[in-house]
Structure 1
């Protein structure tokens, strides 16, 4: 994907010193980036790593690997990010799914969505998933400003008079809503539900996963129960609902 970037300030000059967090912190803020486009991932990492007061500690190229890196940071085996920037539309686990799973556990790390499309297309879904904002990937100036705002503890506007939740507000709301069903499913159960939602049949799924058809049926049965529905058709409908938020 070709990404045309805008790095100029409002007066038309390039200035990497603008839009930096105003806190008196001496060490750089640690940024994590998740994007399944390796070219874009590299461009974003290079840009943010050059900003004063910021350093990119880890990157991931899928929602699942982003979750894994986040959990490693909790165990001290990977750096703990002060802010996560994530793509929205990714194969497998989307950035929205990844965000809702992290936010259910985390009440302090801001998560900023980034998209190649009009951010307003995803604003409502980003809010529901617990994100603190969403920006266009190619607008690097807005990305930099948004990161600085969030690291200063302020909230980003969603539309006129409406702001995205803070991490604490989003965490509290998701706790009230209940544990996301996605967290309950195993990797194999998630994979089966992804295939079923694409209209695939049990024998084809079994061949792709290199398991028996009866094993696929077991995964479907478990996923159906965990999703709180009564049959395969309802499970697929519920899976499509929660994965599209």
Structure 2
């Protein structure tokens, strides 16, 4: 576990944790965010969504706010990690972070139980989002998308019938994400370190799981969050 100590004098620091798939980016964020937001102390940072989910349900390690990258390693999806955390606890506000389109992720992240979304490189947006979440509120950078509080999101997710929840594995979800961005099977296979045939098989499995007739329809269902 990597950790930093950057407490501010005179008041209780905000305990922050960061999850990002890139080792350099996560370290840079851990150094930069306390400069952007006075009073922030980074408790820990990790590249693993599973590691973050376990820590968030441990009272001794749970941060006041978790910054969660949308694209993680080994086929992990930030959306799945967020939903897992929110189904387990009504604590730990989750702020999604991404270098990609906010519009693409906002509605799906809200459905997964997060409290906000911000661009990694935008220090002003990040500061405002953290400030809102720190006070128990939410932050949406996309018009028409509303995020819930931790308590509201937790109640909704644990009360949802299993059939309304996304049915894809983390890797299947990541494949659809990449296909929706125009990536080819061969490019995705190279990124995952598997054969192109394996990627095709997983994408076709995703089509069936989403009750779609075609791959294009499955991608549309996944991108718009209309799997319910």
1:31-46 equivalences under 5 Å are 31-46=16-31
Please report how far the alpha carbon of residue 155 of structure 1 lies from its aligned counterpart in structure 2 after TM superposition.
2.2
1:234-245 equivalences under 5 Å are 234=208
Map of 1:169 onto structure 2: 152
1:63-82 equivalences under 5 Å are 65-72=48-55, 74-75=57-58, 79-82=61-64
1:107 aligned onto 2:107 = no
Aligned mate of 1:138, from 102, 121, 124: 121
1:57 aligned onto 2:36 = no
TM-score normalised by structure 2 residue count: 0.65
TM-score normalised by structure 1 residue count: 0.61
Map of 1:30 onto structure 2: 15
Map of 1:157 onto structure 2: 140
| CA RMSD after TM alignment | 3.9
Structure 1 residues 64-94: Cα deviation after superposition (integer angstroms, max 9, x where no partner):
x333244245445x62211111111223111
Change (3 A) 1:89 1:54: same
Contact 1:70 1:80 in 2 (8 A): no
In the alignment, the residues of structure 2 paired with residue 68 and residue 167 of structure 1 have an alpha-carbon distance, to the nearest angstrom, of: 20
Change (3 A) 1:236 1:149: closer
1:157 aligns to what SS in structure 2?
coil
> How many residues end up aligned between the 2 structures?
188
Please report how far the alpha carbon of residue 154 of structure 1 lies from its aligned counterpart in structure 2 after TM superposition.
1.8
In the alignment, the residues of structure 2 paired with residue 135 and residue 73 of structure 1 have an alpha-carbon distance, to the nearest angstrom, of: 20
In the alignment, the residues of structure 2 paired with residue 157 and residue 35 of structure 1 have an alpha-carbon distance, to the nearest angstrom, of: 20
Gaps of 5+ in 1: 1-19, 200-207, 209-230
Contact 1:158 1:164 in 2 (8 A): no
Contact 2:16 2:44 in 1 (8 A): yes
1:130 aligns to what SS in structure 2?
coil
Contact 2:19 2:69 in 1 (8 A): yes
**Bigger mean CA offset, 41-50 vs 136-145:** 41-50
Contact 2:107 2:145 in 1 (8 A): no
